[in-house]
Every structure is written in structure tokens, then in C-alpha cells.
Structure 1
Amino acid sequence: MVTDRVFTGSDNCRNETWIKIAGANSWRSIWRPFIYRFLPEIKQILACRGEARKFLVPIVQQRKTVQGKWGDSTPDDMMQWMMDKADALIVKGDDRQAFQKLTLSMAAIHTTTTMSVTQTLYDLAAMPEYIQPLRDEINEALASSGGKFNKSILSKLHLLDSCIKESQRYNPPDFTSFCRKVRRGVALSDGTYLPAGDPELYPNPKFDSYRFSKIRAEGAKNADRRQFVAVTPGSLHFGYGKYACPGRVFAMIEVKLILANILLKYDLAVDKPEEGRYKNIEFAH
């Protein structure tokens, strides 16, 4: 009724017929513990959790049997880190440890990695002139490490980092919210004018794969804040302040590794160059 007071007005929100209609798709709280297990969506989730438990619990148990005996072969992965901290975090039982691993995996399946890789590939396919300089940078970095990727090598890929950040600037994940893209100048009712591609924020606002790498190369003030993972008032894709995404460096490593491997092994092109870049599918929730 409180919500409908805003939605339908003070009289309608008290209408018994409307109250029944509005609540027709909900269950009384007393029945929910019994009903939810029969809903197809919930059954699917419970089945998935059951399969995950079958897969993960034996791994947890097997590792516990040799806990402290690994020596130099101790697994270096998130599951082992969580097991090592289980007592300190008061995580009791193999089931609970397995469930936390599943929960963490679900949290890590985020749009940042998928969308950043996809959008960057689409941009490069439409603007292939940027591809060879990226390949040269990747090959040069690999040559200094015996052909193997590591965190130090990835940090040297300034052109790739800049390309990813510019692609994110052009195709922000914020499209999943109620943001608006100013395609042409718009004058609001109070006289405020919103210019399209405001050069005061980004000079020459058209796509420039080298935009952020040039700023870093010039040694500008706060140049490090131009990195893909940097969080600033002008770059909120990973949040800001104490609420900034704690996994953004991990996401960056994934994105760079995926793109570097693709660029070294494949050529990119759009089906119809005359039509330009593939269009994004925009949605909101």
C-alpha cells in the first residue's frame, strides 16, 4: 500500500480489488519456506548448488588430507588461499568452504572482463590500423621475459592498456543503468546546454587508442590515474573511493592476457567495413 500510494494515488492504493491484483503473484510469507523448492527457477539453482558441492567437496577433502605436507608444490589458487584462512575466518565444514568457493566464482563472473574484451575487439576490428602497434608492443614485452607473460610484462603494455581504457570510455558498462548518451547537443528546459563529445573533458573526443598512453608518456601530473584500473571522478567504471571494485586489477590481468593472445594469433575485421563498427545492444535493468 505504501508503494502504491505513490504509484496509483491515495484512493486507489486502498482499493481491495487492486491490492489483490497487485499481490496475486506473491506468496504469503508463511508459505514461502515450503513453496520455494517447487519453483522451477529455485529448483534449478538448488540443483546447480548440489552439482557444485559434488565437484568441490571432494577436492577440499583431498587437500585437507595433505594439508601442511605440500612443500614447494602447495597449490597457488584461490581455493587453497580460502582453505588456509578458513580457521581465522571461522569457516567450518567442507560444505561451507565449497559453497564459499562457488559464491566467489559467481561474483567473479562479471561483465567487466567479458564486455571489455568484446568492446575492444569490436573497436579494433573496425579500426585495424591500431592492431600492428599493439602486436609490436606485446612481442617486445614478451621478448624481455623469454616469451612468457607475467604481471611485470602486462604492466609494460601501455598501448594495450590505453586501448582498453579508450574503448571503455566509448562503450561504458554504465549503459546497463539509466544513463544517457548525448549524440548531439541538447538544451534542457532550464537553459543548461549539454554538448556532444565535450572537448573540455576529452580533447579531440573521437576514438583514439593512444589517448591515455600519450598522457602517460608525456609524464603529465597524475599520469598513473590514466591507467585502465584507475578510479577517478571522471572514470567511475570500477566505482570510486572505498567502494571501488577490489577485483579490478584481477580483471585487468584477465583482459590483457585474453586480448594479447588473440591479437598475436588472429587478424580482426568486420564483415562489412562500409558499415563500420558493430553496434552495441543497449539494455537496462
Structure 2
Amino acid sequence: MEDHSMFQTYIIGFIFLIIFYYIIKRPRIGANEPPLVPYTIPILGHTYDYLFHTKKLIKKCKEQYGECFSIYVFGRVMTIVSRSSLNEVFKSHDDFDLAISEMIPFHLVFEHSGGLDKVIHINARVAREEISGKFNIYTPIIQKYLLKGIDKWIGDCKEPKAIPRTWSMFNKITALPISNVLVGEEAASHDDVVKSLGDLAFDLGPLVAIPPILAFIHQKLHEFVITLPLRFGWNPISHHREVIINRIKPVIEKRLNEKKVLGNDYKPYNDALEWYMNRPDFDYTNSKKLLFYIDALFILTFGAIGTTSRTVTNALYDMAGRPEYLNELYEEALMIDKECNGSITFSDIEKMKKLDSFIKESLRHTDETLSLAHKVVPESFTFSNGYTIPKGRLVNLFMSDILKSKEAFGDDAEEFKPFRFVNAKSPATKVDRSYVVFGGGRRACPGRFFAINESKLILHKVILKYNIKTQNGNIENKVYIGPNTTPSRNPLIYENRK
């Protein structure tokens, strides 16, 4: 009898504990905030639907509450915006880096950079001035190493060849020319340099793969647990840092010696490393300063190789499932190839109108439900519609809503029409209120010109060399992971053009 009474006491105590926890964790919404969408599961809120039925959840919420509303996921309120509110976020906030840092602890991974915000303005200049700004100079070297990579990882396909892990393979192919652009041909001639720069983004995957379950208790608790290995000395980029330092130090010494000997006759190298070396505070003999620039290089790499290879991979799957459009792209590629005799120039890339349109349509159909999260800092923000978002709130952007807006793209906005932009004077690099895959406002991605032009060059070479199709002849679906997507993981079939 006494044991039964004790058991009842424990049960009652546990129930009161749950009720108390629910009360203190219940979201509190201010009077002028966007409406919080009601939910039926205490504590969990909208988390389940956010993970497994994201598109349905967010679309339904927008239909009921308009373009600005809040949901409760992983123990916190998240505000979702779209259309005009989305562009207000781009225009008014420079806090994209803070939102990223909540998913990937940049301040610990890239410990020598002092955090993403410390180097983002430097890398924006590198991307704009050195990388995108000199694409016409880089075109021959990119072409050279792309062909080398295609021959190495795809090769001769006299007989149809099924190649798995398309994104991983094109990440390797993309890493080859980009490594040469980042650190120069001498350093990039080492396979370990190309591998390290190519693997960097994928090696950070485990840090974002753990669902933030502990955030139901407190956001900082989740961050503390996932960063424990980092705090005890493990870092997924430590090996890459050693590789790059060992390979670029001799290159730096060689260039500095050339400057000393040649003086005004010294001809600067065209790569990001040279740009970093010309910074007034660059000093490779000072370990702290050298490590700062190594981490800056890694952050630049993180946003360059993986995203470009993802764009190429998605476009390839979109082509492979639509042979009638692939044939049209081949005809355009063949005409340009004959005109330039196989040696593509920047002006030839600009002639790839159908391919550019195809890439833009592919980017429009990545099917990301939410993307480009921002964090409201340093104080609360009020939209033109009167809603106020408090300081510290995470704001996520309803990406698919604006990218498939009928007002912007017509009644067929939901359809995949690969050549809809051919005569629209709207290249894949152009950022506007309805095409926000590269962000918007002052912080629109400065490397998008390089990324799109390199993607066109890669796809041009692949289309010329191979006929590509899916295994089952159908259009492949993306892999959905909560509000985000990755390219299909099924093999593609490659066969030499006759």
C-alpha cells in the first residue's frame, strides 16, 4: 500500500513538472507581433510538421494568416515572411551571418577568424573584385581544369555508364578549377589541396545533422552540446588547415621574393591568395595573422565550391529527366563550340542564353521551402504593415512562395519552363524582388557572377561530351530534409555523344 502511494506521488509530481515546464516554455507574443499560428501539441508546437510536412504547413499558414506569421519550433518562436515583407528583411538587415552561426558555430570552427562577421566584408570584396570581377581572365584556366576533372571522374563512356553520388562527383570536378582560382596553380597542383578545399563544406555536415532536440529546454543547451567536441580540441577542419598552410607557405615566400627582386616589374598573380597577400595587415610570419587569412579563405571556400556544385547537380538532374530540352541545349552548345573552335571565352559564355535560362529555372525550382534565415539585431524591427519583431527573433524566408509567385512569373509559375527567360533580359545572376536565390539588398551574394558563369561552363562541356539520362527515364525528385532540399541521390547515365 505504501509503495502504491509512493508511485502515485511520483506520477503526480511528474505531471506537475510537465505542467510547470509547459508554462515556462509557452511562447509569449507581444501585442504588435505577427500572429502565432495555433498548435495542438504542447511543448513540441509545430516542430513535427516543420520537419516532415514543411511545405504544407507553411503554405496553409500563409493562406490563413497572410505573408507574415510566427510558428513555434524546437522551443522557440520563428517568424516566417514572404513577398513584400521578405524584401524588407533584405533591405533592412545585415544579420544573415548571425543566423548561420546558430546552425554552424563559426566562431569555434573557424576560431582564428573571430567569427563569420569579422571576415564577411573582406570576402565580399574578394568575391566581387578578384573572383567575379576577373572571370574573363580566369576562363581559360577554369576550362583547362574542368576538362581535366571531367576526364578523371566521368571519363570515356562508349557504353552507357551509371555513375552514383552525382553531387559528390561534381563537387570534386568543381573544386579543381576553383582551387586554382583561390590559391593559384602552384599550390593547387597538389591533390591534397584540392581535396581539402573540396571536402571542407561536406566535413562540416555532422555539426548541422543533429536535430536541436535540447533546444526545447534551452537554445544555448543545444549549442553547448554540439560544440563540446570543438571545445575539447576536435575540429573537422584542423587537417585541412594543416594541408593548406604547408602548401601555400612556400608559394607565399616565393612570391614575396619575386616582389623583392623584381620590384615594379613584378606581375601579380590572379588568385584570391594574392589578394589576401596585398592586404596591409597580411603577415605570413605572424602565426595569428596567417591563421586569420587561412580561415577567411576557408569561409570563402565554404560558400563557393559546395553551392556551385549543387547548382550544377540540380541542373543536370533537371536536364536528364527532360531529353527534349537537353537536345536543344546541345544544339546551342554545338553552335558556340564551332564558333570558338572549342576554346571558350567570356563572350562565348554570354552567348549561352538557353543554358543561362535553364540554370535560372533550375534554381527557381530547388524547392527550398524556407531559406536565408536572418536574426533581428541589434533592436526590434517594425515592418511597413505594422508588425514588430523583437530583438533576437529568427526570421526565415518563405522562399518557394516568392520564387513561384504568379504575379512575378505568370499563371504557369509552378511549371518548369526552362527557356522562359531566354528573351526576358533576366539572366540567372540578376537579383530582383521575385528572384532571391542569391539574397537581396546590399548583401546579395557578390560571388554569384562567378558561380553562374562557372556552372554554365561546366554544363556546356558536359552537354557537349555526353548524353545524359536518368535510370528510369523519369524526372528525379529532390531529397527533402525539413524545409530544405538536396539533389537526388540516384545515379545518372552517361554516354558519349556519337
Same fold (TM over 0.5): yes
- Taking the aligned partners of 1:26 and 1:105, their CA distance within structure 2 comes to 22
- 1:8 deviates by 5.2
Partner of 1:81: 275
Higher relative contact order (CA 8 A, sep 6+): 2
- Aligned residue pairs total 238
Partner of 2:409: 202
- Taking the aligned partners of 1:200 and 1:252, their CA distance within structure 2 comes to 25
The structure-2 alpha-carbon separation of the partners of 1:8 and 1:100, relative to structure 1 and needing over 3 Å to count, comes to same
Identity of aligned residues (%): 25
The structure-2 alpha-carbon separation of the partners of 1:260 and 1:5, relative to structure 1 and needing over 3 Å to count, comes to farther
What letter matches 1:7 in structure 2? K
Does 2:492 match 1:281?
no
The structure-2 alpha-carbon separation of the partners of 1:7 and 1:151, relative to structure 1 and needing over 3 Å to count, comes to farther
Equivalent runs, 1:48-63 vs 2, <5 Å: 48-63=240-255
1:65 is aligned, of 234, 257, 264, to: 257
- Taking the aligned partners of 2:266 and 2:296, their CA distance within structure 1 comes to 29
CA contact (8 A) 1:163 1:210 kept: yes
Equivalent runs, 1:102-181 vs 2, <5 Å: 102-110=295-303, 111-173=306-368, 175-176=370-371, 179=398
The structure-2 alpha-carbon separation of the partners of 1:173 and 1:56, relative to structure 1 and needing over 3 Å to count, comes to farther
The structure-2 alpha-carbon separation of the partners of 1:25 and 1:120, relative to structure 1 and needing over 3 Å to count, comes to closer
1:7 is aligned, of 20, 25, 32, to: 25
Bigger shift: residues 238-247 or 200-209: 200-209
- Taking the aligned partners of 1:166 and 1:67, their CA distance within structure 2 comes to 46
- Taking the aligned partners of 1:49 and 1:130, their CA distance within structure 2 comes to 43
- Taking the aligned partners of 2:330 and 2:421, their CA distance within structure 1 comes to 18
- 1:212 deviates by 0.2
CA contact (8 A) 1:115 1:173 kept: no
- Taking the aligned partners of 2:442 and 2:353, their CA distance within structure 1 comes to 26
- Taking the aligned partners of 2:355 and 2:221, their CA distance within structure 1 comes to 53
Equivalent runs, 1:206-245 vs 2, <5 Å: 206-215=415-424, 223=425, 226-245=426-445
Does 2:282 match 1:91?
yes
Q: Which runs of 5+ in 1 are unaligned?
A: 11-20, 183-193, 216-222
RMSD: 3.4
1:256 is aligned, of 452, 456, 478, to: 456
- 1:98 deviates by 6.4
Q: Which runs of 5+ in 2 are unaligned?
A: 1-21, 29-216, 373-395, 485-498
What letter matches 2:477 in structure 1? K
- 1:180 deviates by 7.3
What letter matches 1:233 in structure 2? R
